[in-house]
Amino acid sequence: MIALAIGDIVGRPGRRVLSSLLPEVVREFGVDFVVANAENSAGGVGITPEIGAEILGKGVDILTMGNHAWGKKDAYEYLDAEPRVVRPANYPEGAPGRGFSVVRSRSGLPVGVLNLGGRVFFATDLDCPFRTASKAVDEMRTATRIILVDFHAEATSEKIALGYHLDGRASAVFGTHTHVQTSDARVLPGGTAYITDLGMTGPVDSVIGIRKEIVLERFLTQLPSRFEVASGPACLSGALFDIDEATGRARSARAVQVTE
């Protein structure tokens, strides 16, 4: 099967480019399953039930989140209610939502999707992502051999380490959060597809999706400012993974980026 993982959808421009370009990408590459990170989909911070339904209605099979999962208050009940949205599994017990879920691909295959949050330079109060990943993958493997892992983290070293930690146990491990696509898509020795960051699905003429003037002013003055999602042309960024349905091991991994 061909799985497409889409990098952080940023605001209205990200949702627009997803709607316009996803059908073409699915047709061109014969995609059977789509996972997308939506933690920036509502005005750049968080998700709402309406926006979640909008994205899922555009051909995305499941949404992952990150540190902005809690950005909109009405997302709390939505995360509990919608099994096609997962937030980092290593948040403390009692946090709304679920950290992983098994859903069906277009051809009816069960696919497990796990979301994790990093700790290095990021969220040190989270549970260990490595131990959480091992436990979650073991549980999902009772239902499916195909397991995709979104590691929402800052440090490249932590992401690469998790890839090797899950090599041979997960079908693909991909990083999100930095909004900059990396050039290291590959299959690890044990058969796990890997890329350090999928990149951003959002406005090209920006600083990681935010109006560049605002970010420049903040760097120059060190004064607080309200971030606003940039406008203009946008791109869809992510990665394609060819996965053996019988074994769950990846045959290939490649980055993809399409600009409208």
* Choice among 68, 152, 177, 179 that is catalytic: 68
CB–CB of 175/153 below 8 Å? yes
Tokens 């995360």 map to which residue?
Answer: 79
Element containing residue 213 per DSSP (H, E): helix 212-221
Q: From its phi and psi, is residue 108 left (phi > 0), alpha (psi between -120 and 50) or beta?
A: left
- Is 211 in contact with 230 (CB distance < 8 Å)? yes
Report which of 109, 112, 128 is spatially closest to residue 120, judged by C-alpha positions: 128
Is the separation of the CB atoms in 89 and 134 below 8 Å?
no
* CA–CA distance, 83 with 62 (Å, rounded to integer): 8
Question: What is the C-alpha to C-alpha distance for residues 251 and 243, in angstroms, rounded to an integer?
Answer: 6
- DSSP structural state of residue 142: T
Report angle CA 116, 122, 126 to the nearest 5 degrees: 50
Active site residue 177: no
55, 41 in Cβ contact below 8 A? yes
Q: Which residues are catalytic?
A: 68
